[in-house]
Amino acid sequence: MKLSIWIVLALCALTLASTPAQAEADLKLPRERVTLVAPPFVHPHEQATKSGPKIIEFTMTVVEKPMVIDEAGTKIFGTTFNGSIPGPLMVVHEGDYVELTLINPAINTLMHNIDFHASTGALGGGGLTQVNPGEQVTLRWKATRAGVFIYHCAPGGSMIPLHVVSGGMSGAVMVLPRDGLKDEAGRRLHYDRVYYIGENDFYVPRDAKGNFESFAEASDYFPKTLELMRKLVPTHVVFEGRVGALTGKDALRAKVGETVLIVHSQANRDSRPHLIGGHGDYVWETGKFHNPPLRDQETWFIRGGSAGAALYTFRQPGLYVYLSHNLIEAVELGASAHFKVDGQWNDDLMKQVGAPQPIPSATALQAKPK
């Protein structure tokens, strides 16, 4: 079975080689070149557009490097798109064409490719994008479905999960409807800010003393990680590649009255996002924008191998914790982030009526068990 994917990849490459050049000449559309930015931020884009379809050009470079994933300085051998965990969020509109140039520099050691869940055919493009160190390839596909979708490296066999759990070899594409997001009644929805949160699970071996080992080379990291990940018990579950990546000085910012779109992806495992002190006003749990959004959600579900989106208007200032409501993963393994929200407090929504104080003696006596 492990060989079958390589046969499919080879057939896909042959198909590409036999595609008539006329198809390229017939596609006469305006082009727009977009520079990607590292998550949690997202490149500038229109939420709705009146223009016709375009070819949107992106470039991503595969970066292999050691990545620190926790406060203790634990390092994994990182395989990443553009050097970030997760890879960047790409935004286009339904009917546009995504044209990606994928670069695998000669200093790398591994073959890579990319599988877009939003695309159609050739293993999501994985069969047409195999690049060895020192090579690059350009793939174009049409965005025919609106929503948020993951992409990831899928080089074949055990290397598929190994690449994904070794860092940022996954990311997301957001395909917006041309007339923008809408609620269940078809009314237009708008966001003031958008953040992309990529969730990753890591499987880091421990030494004889029980401490996490650190790795700089794939040849050291991969064999031990392969053995550990087959047990399906992660050592770290994190947002943006490391424990605490979106907390403290790196917390996500917003203001009271602002509407924030949160895109959340998980390439490998299920997740249950929850915003403590807030809600999902509108939630596309499966990430597909032509489906009516769920309303007023407390916790939503992101299936492994997919992305979802939630829209929330902040109503109170202060600290909000955004986490996986598998609380073990959030508290013990790292899957949590912070929003810091500026603005005026609203006593009507919440007020501490009485500060903590000693229990009156009479009440305390009554509360004693008999």
For residue 115, indicate whether it is catalytic: yes
Q: How many CB atoms lie within 10 A of CB 167?
A: 28
Interval 39-67: pLDDT, tens: 999 999 999 999 999 999 999 999 999 99
Averaged over 302-315, what is the pLDDT?
Answer: 98
- What is the structure's pLDDT at 17? 46
Residue 302's beta-bridge partner residues? 271
What domain range includes position 175?
Answer: 4-179
- What is the structure's pLDDT at 19? 47
- Any domain includes 310: no
What distance in Å separates the CA atoms of residue 45 and residue 261, rounded to the nearest whole number? Answer: 13
For residue 43, indicate whether it is catalytic: no
| 91: CB partners within 8 A, 6+ apart | 42, 43, 45, 173, 174, 176
Tell me the chain's radius of gyration from C-alpha atoms.
Answer: 23
For residue 169, indicate whether it is catalytic: yes
- What is the structure's pLDDT at 176? 98
For residue 179, indicate whether it is catalytic: no
- What is the structure's pLDDT at 168? 74
b vs e for 5-36, b when ≥16 Cβ sit within 10 Å of the residue's Cβ?
Answer: beeebeebeeeeeeeeeeeeeeeeeeeeebeb
Given 93, 112, 236, 264, which residue is catalytic?
Answer: 112
Both ends of the chain: CA-CA distance in Å? Answer: 68
- Any domain includes 325: no
How many domains in the chain?
Answer: 1
- What is the structure's pLDDT at 360? 87
The pTM for the full model equals 0.91
Q: What is the CATH number of the domain that holds 138?
A: 2.60.40.420
- Any domain includes 239: no
What's the one-letter identity of residue 93?
A: H
- What is the structure's pLDDT at 307? 98
| 12: CB partners within 8 A, 6+ apart | 122, 123, 126, 127, 128
- Any domain includes 46: yes
| 188: CB partners within 8 A, 6+ apart | 48, 179, 180, 181, 182
Confidence band for 333, pLDDT divided at 50, 70 and 90: very high
Which residue is it, tokens 């990529």?
A: 198
- 350 pLDDT higher than 80: yes
3-class secondary structure, 280: strand
For residue 153, indicate whether it is catalytic: yes
Average pLDDT, the chain: 92
Interval 221-254: pLDDT, tens: 999 999 999 999 999 999 999 999 999 999 999 9
Q: When comparing pLDDT for 8 and 352, which is higher?
A: 352
For residue 26, indicate whether it is catalytic: no
- Any domain includes 143: yes
- Any domain includes 238: no
- 5 pLDDT higher than 70: no
Given 24, 46, 71, 298, which residue is catalytic?
Answer: 298
What distance in Å separates the CA atoms of residue 247 and residue 75, rounded to the nearest whole number? Answer: 20
C-beta of residue 267 within 8 angstroms of C-beta of residue 287: no
| Nearest alpha carbon to residue 336 among 241, 239, 248, 251 | 239
Q: Is the peptide bond before 317 cis (omega within 30 degrees of 0)?
A: no
For residue 94, indicate whether it is catalytic: no
Averaged over 291-302, what is the pLDDT?
Answer: 98
Confidence band for 89, pLDDT divided at 50, 70 and 90: very high
- Any domain includes 37: yes
- 22 pLDDT higher than 80: no
For residue 41 the two structure tokens come to 């931020």
- 14 pLDDT higher than 60: no
- 325 pLDDT higher than 70: yes
b vs e for 105-116, b when ≥16 Cβ sit within 10 Å of the residue's Cβ?
Answer: eeebebbbbbbb
- Any domain includes 82: yes
For residue 190, indicate whether it is catalytic: no
Confidence band for 6, pLDDT divided at 50, 70 and 90: very low
C-beta of residue 338 within 8 angstroms of C-beta of residue 247: yes
C-beta of residue 187 within 8 angstroms of C-beta of residue 36: no
Least confident of 16-25, 70-79, 81-90: 16-25
